[in-house]
Amino acid sequence: MIQHYDCVIAANGSFPTSPLALELLRKASVIIACDGAAGTLHQNGFVADAIIGDLDSIPASMRELYADRIHIDKDQETNDLTKAVMFARQSGERNVLIIGATGLREDHTLGNISLLADYAPLFDRIEMLTDFGLFTPIRETTTLGCKPGQQISIFSLYPEGEITTEGLRWPITNRRLTAWWQGTLNEALTDTCTIHTGKEARVIVYRLLLNGER
């Protein structure tokens, strides 16, 4: 289900422990760290190619060790994850995976997940992986890979734009989802599922990882 990513962005939430996440991190050509994540990467045997942020979360020892790759951005209108994402965009990255963006503080988790909808038009592919599942933002009708029985949730960020699904046990047909829970806890019937979106829809799809992927 999950393909290789050229760039991995590590945020300063819960660092992944799943073999899948760590393998994708090892295979990435470029690792970009939000400033607080630089130390966690280092502790787990990874070296960030770039460290982005206002440096309010990075230990002094890490700031000294990685002084040659730190990019300071003190803009208070964006969070460190967005700063790292924009750095990846400006560096020409096209296939990006975000890790460490959930866990710890729930407000950070919700904010980071919702930001995927803003990041989606900037890349060919950008997704967010946790130890439990994969978040994929979509802005147009999209077919996603899955497995029969795999749990799938659909989150509509705006109560605008109709959604229709194919390949799910409980189909959605020309419906506007007006609350986040309304499209959750569905199940794939085949190896693909399709989400048809109206022009104004902004949707994030969550696919629970299968036991063999965690």
**Alpha carbon distance, N-terminus to C-terminus of the chain:** 12
Query: Tell me, what amino acid is at 180?
Result: W
Query: pTM of the predicted model, to two decimals?
Result: 0.94
Residue located via tokens 């070296």: 47
User: How many CB atoms sit inside 10 A of residue 168's CB?
Assistant: 19
Beta bridge partners of 70: 51
Q: Which is higher by pLDDT, 211 or 13?
A: 13
Instruction: Give the pLDDT confidence of 106-158 residue by residue, as tens digits.
Output: 999 999 999 999 999 999 999 999 999 999 999 999 999 999 999 999 999 98
Q: What is the pLDDT of residue 160?
A: 82
Average pLDDT, the chain: 93
In Å, how far are 154, 194, 201, 214 from 184, measured between CA atoms? Answer: 6, 15, 16, 21
Q: Cα–Cα distance between 94 and 124 in angstroms, integer? A: 5
